[in-house]
């Protein structure tokens, strides 16, 4: 498919937004992680059994942990530590689309959050979970468009034979011969789409001596092309010798569109771990996801399986943070969690391994406005399976379909030298000409039929999309502040034709609800590099944008 460097796409959509920095202007600034009371003067208590901890690792109750801090996207589905299970099903009903119901399900197998406070005043929250996901994904989409034009088809049937006394060299003079080659169209070979013959049989040659029973059979009423043991004469049948618009049933053309979608089931087992650490001045976040996906139908099953199996041994990403003598500050900037969730994840993909690190300065009591909230950064490595789309247009198919019976206007006759018949026929074979005027004791048959039939002329085109899942490696990161986000991303997809891309985008949010976004990306293709720019605005949930290629 060729993409030219021109054209614009304008889109209008209604968006439901969650987790964007602009919402901070309309909400208070609660702590991202509930303050466990570490800044208060602790009551006297027995010394802990573990000398490395002030508060040894313990399982935190779910209701004491903010879901905002544990929310992440797992294969396009948002989950948190409170997720138990969620199932959705979508069925499209249309007289032009055929597809099965699309199911998506996520089930928690195990989840817990462990918190602790070290002797070096490092507060740590360790979130772990394992999940099973079942997902219906498309493999192939076919859109068939058929244009139907009513037409009237005309045809022709020609049946002839010429026999007479033999006079060719080496032929006995007292016998009867045929002076027309035997040619018969095989009516079983008529093309069902174009109504044209595809096979012709030669049954006899000029000068063949005829048997007495053949001569007697040919004098029966109507065209007789000889006997089964000795066929002779010309029997041509052309049901389609031309068409003209319209027929007795309709004069109006129609267009029909039919869409078919083939689906398959993908099952994914994922292990999620997120570690948040905070000291007295800053907080860090490390997020790791291990996933293993099996498709019911997968053309790259062995390659995908081997890569996924090896990735299960990659380490969890645990961030480092220096301790201090000052108490830990658990007033962690919400931008740290925004940054982790602002990372660019390939859509419709399945994560094999994802590891990233985020960092942000913690909040202080002197913050008085949204702009003063410290920004955060997050940088990650992502390995997964992404769909690569193969699009093509099949050649147009042209065919006719009969909508009425075939009607015929017949004419012709047969006879010999007697005065009751006035039959004249000339047969030209190669350079020889045979005529009833110079053949003795001749007998000729000449029959013509003009055919007419109501048909529909159809032109059919098929657009096909085929998806195959290939390994995909991506590096991405972002800097998130309360009113703007800058993201970069680059990656490579190991498809049959390796695809490499690079891009960045910037988003700015105003305190009164406006959102502006611009970006640029470059994708390598077999025919060169495609560069795309995107500009957009969002106000109160309504968005518009322009993309130029």
- Tens digit of each residue's pLDDT, the chain (549 residues): 333 333 322 222 222 222 323 332 223 333 334 443 333 333 444 455 678 899 999 999 988 888 999 999 999 999 999 999 988 877 666 666 656 678 889 999 999 999 999 999 999 999 999 999 999 998 999 999 999 999 999 999 999 999 989 988 877 878 899 999 999 999 999 999 999 999 999 999 988 899 999 999 988 988 988 898 999 999 999 999 999 999 999 999 999 999 888 889 999 999 999 999 999 999 999 999 999 999 998 888 888 999 999 999 999 999 999 999 999 998 999 999 999 999 999 989 999 999 999 999 999 988 888 888 999 999 999 999 999 988 898 878 999 999 999 999 998 888 887 645 667 788 888 878 888 888 888 888 999 999 999 999 999 999 999 999 999 999 999 999 989 999 999 999 998 888 999 999 999 988 788 889 888 888 876 655 656 655 555 554 454 555 444
Determine the 3-state secondary structure of 446 from DSSP: strand
351 within a domain of the structure (yes/no): no
Q: Give the residue from 378, 386, 388 showing the smallest Cα distance to 489.
A: 378
DSSP annotation of 209: B
pLDDT of residue 282: 95
Predicted TM-score (pTM) of the model is: 0.71
350 within a domain of the structure (yes/no): no
Instruction: Find the helix or strand (DSSP H, E) in which 433 lies.
Output: strand 432-435
Instruction: Find the helix or strand (DSSP H, E) in which 74 lies.
Output: strand 72-74
Q: Which residue has the tokens 């089931």?
A: 265
446 within a domain of the structure (yes/no): yes
Pairing of strands 97-98, 254-278: parallel
190 within a domain of the structure (yes/no): yes
Q: Give the residue from 84, 408, 121, 76 showing the smallest Cα distance to 268.
A: 76
- Alpha-carbon distance of 407 to 452, in angstroms, equals 5
Would you put residue 401 in left (φ > 0), alpha (ψ -120 to 50) or beta?
Answer: beta
494 within a domain of the structure (yes/no): no
Would you put residue 7 in left (φ > 0), alpha (ψ -120 to 50) or beta?
Answer: left
Q: What are 203-258's pLDDT values in tens digits? A: 999 888 999 999 999 889 889 888 989 999 999 999 999 999 999 999 999 999 99
Would you put residue 139 in left (φ > 0), alpha (ψ -120 to 50) or beta?
Answer: alpha
Distance from the Cα of residue 353 to its chain's centroid: 25
Pairing of strands 484-493, 443-480: antiparallel
pLDDT of residue 119: 93
Domain holding 220, by residue range, is: 151-242+403-461
Domains held by the chain: number: 1
209 within a domain of the structure (yes/no): yes
pLDDT of residue 92: 67
- Alpha-carbon distance of 62 to 379, in angstroms, equals 28
232 within a domain of the structure (yes/no): yes
191 within a domain of the structure (yes/no): yes
Distance from the Cα of residue 311 to its chain's centroid: 28
**Is the Cα dihedral 335, 330, 378, 110 positive or negative?**
negative
**Is the Cα dihedral 168, 174, 180, 186 positive or negative?**
negative
| Residue 238 near residue 155 (C-beta atoms within 8 A) | yes
DSSP annotation of 328: P
pLDDT of residue 174: 83
Q: Which residues pair with 111 in a beta bridge?
A: 129
């Amino acid at each position: 498919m060729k993409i030219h460097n021109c054209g614009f796409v304008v889109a209008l959509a209604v968006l439901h937004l969650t987790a964007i920095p602009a919402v901070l202007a309309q909400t208070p600034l609660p702590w991202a992680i509930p303050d466990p009371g570490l800044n208060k003067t602790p009551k006297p208590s027995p010394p802990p059994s573990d000398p490395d901890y002030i508060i040894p690792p313990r399982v935190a109750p779910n209701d004491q942990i903010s879901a905002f801090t544990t929310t992440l996207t797992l294969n396009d589905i948002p989950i948190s530590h409170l997720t138990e299970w969620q199932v959705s099903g979508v069925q499209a009903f249309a007289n032009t689309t055929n597809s099965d119901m699309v199911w998506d399900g996520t089930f928690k197998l195990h989840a817990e959050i462990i918190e602790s406070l070290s002797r070096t005043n490092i507060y740590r929250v360790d979130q772990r979970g394992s999940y099973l996901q079942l997902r219906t994904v498309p493999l192939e989409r076919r859109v068939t468009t058929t244009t139907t034009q009513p037409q009237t088809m005309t045809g022709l049937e020609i049946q002839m034979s010429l026999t007479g006394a033999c006079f060719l060299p080496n032929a006995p003079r007292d016998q009867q011969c045929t002076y027309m080659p035997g040619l018969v169209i095989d009516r079983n070979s008529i093309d069902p789409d174009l109504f044209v013959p595809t096979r012709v049989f030669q049954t006899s040659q000029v000068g063949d001596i005829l048997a007495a029973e053949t001569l007697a059979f040919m004098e029966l009423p109507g065209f007789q092309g000889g006997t089964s043991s000795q066929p002779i004469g010309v029997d041509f049948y052309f049901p389609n010798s031309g068409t003209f618009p319209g027929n007795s049933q309709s004069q109006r053309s129609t267009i029909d569109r039919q869409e078919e979608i083939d689906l398959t089931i993908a099952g994914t087992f994922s292990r999620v771990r997120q570690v948040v650490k905070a000291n007295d001045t800053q907080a860090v976040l490390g997020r790791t996801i291990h996933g293993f996906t099996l498709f019911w139908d997968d053309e790259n099953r062995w390659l995908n399986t081997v890569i996924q199996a090896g990735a299960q041994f990659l380490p969890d990403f645990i961030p480092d943070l220096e301790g201090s003598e000052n108490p830990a500050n658990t007033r962690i900037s919400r931008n740290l969690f925004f940054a982790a969730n602002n990372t660019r994840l390939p859509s419709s993909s399945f994560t094999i391994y994802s590891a990233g690190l985020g960092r942000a300065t913690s909040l202080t009591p002197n913050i008085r406005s949204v702009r003063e909230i410290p920004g955060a950064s997050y940088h990650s490595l992502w390995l997964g399976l992404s769909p690569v789309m193969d699009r093509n247009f099949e050649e147009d198919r042209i065919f006719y379909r009969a909508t009425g019976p075939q009607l015929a206007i017949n004419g012709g006759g047969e006879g010999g030298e007697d005065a009751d018949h006035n039959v004249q026929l000339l047969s030209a074979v190669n350079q020889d000409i045979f005529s009833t005027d110079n053949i003795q004791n001749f007998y000729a048959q000449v029959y013509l039929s003009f055919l007419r039939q109501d048909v529909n002329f159809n032109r059919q085109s098929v657009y096909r999309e085929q998806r195959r899942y290939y390994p995909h490696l991506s590096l991405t990161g972002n800097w998130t502040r309360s009113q703007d986000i800058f993201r970069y991303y680059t990656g490579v997809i190991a498809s049959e034709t390796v695809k490499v891309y690079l891009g960045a985008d910037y988003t700015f949010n105003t305190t009164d609800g406006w959102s502006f976004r611009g970006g640029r990306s470059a994708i390598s293709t077999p025919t060169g590099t495609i560069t795309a720019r995107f500009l957009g605005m969002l106000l109160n949930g309504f968005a518009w944008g322009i993309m130029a290629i």
